[in-house]
Amino acid sequence: MAEAADRTGAKLPTERDLAERFQVSRHAIRQALERLEAKGSLWRHVGRGTFRGRRSEAEPLAADVTAFCSPRHILDARRMIEPSLASLAAVNATPSQIAEIQASCRRCAAARNMDDYEVFDEAFHRAIAQASGNPLATELFETVNQARKKIVWGAMLRAVLRPDRRAFFSEQHREIVDAIARRDAHAAWQAVMSHMETVAQTYETLRPGEPFIV
């Protein structure tokens, strides 16, 4: 990727161009980009493309927010934003965007370890946000997502995402995908809200009475 973008802030070529340059599949490129984004080596801006380096817009805001927000605030924000993004995606997603959401869901379900699951889970939720057709709402998602990652409790997250729970969450992901694919905005909204509630309840069973993170 250093060859494709020679300096911080440089825009990367499209996935198709990268696949042709490195003689690999677009799927391989997409996975590599997702991993690099999770590590902070690049960031994506809806409608503008993918850039080398760390996010320069939503991340500072997220840093300011985390100074005074709690895990409960993060969950409340996700409850407000993500069900609506899924509802919009059911109406506005293109066939290729639906295919990407479906592929992200499959990659998440097939993840062999925690690191992969975290990367693919984030990519799944981002694919839905991008399919909403609303750039402003998508940027709100990115801001909340950056804040979430800054205050997540690693050990607790790994306890929540043990294999049996990951399997159940993946089933909920499939319900979300199915609702979006059949263009059922209400069902998509409900499926994401149910997912948020399930994860919240899972955290609460780990540490009753303590704040939680999703």
pTM of the model: 0.69
CATH 1.10.10.10 fits 1-56, yes or no: yes
Please tell me if the domain spanning 1-56 has the same topology as the one spanning 58-206: no
Which fold is adopted by the domain 58-206?
Four Helix Bundle (Hemerythrin (Met), subunit A) (1.20.120)
* Alpha carbon distance 45, 22 (integer Å): 23
Q: Quick one: CA torsion of 12, 14, 17, 23, rounded to 10 degrees?
A: 80
* Alpha carbon distance 177, 61 (integer Å): 30
165 pLDDT higher than 90: no
The predicted-structure confidence for 173-208, as pLDDT tens digits, reads as follows 999 999 999 999 999 999 999 999 987 877 676 655
Domain residue ranges of the chain, discontinuous segments joined by +: 1-56, 58-206
pLDDT at 211: 42
Collect all residues with Cβ–Cβ distance below 8 Å to 23 and sequence separation of at least 6: none
pLDDT at 209: 47
127 pLDDT higher than 60: yes
5 dihedral zone (left: phi>0; alpha: psi -120 to 50; beta):
beta
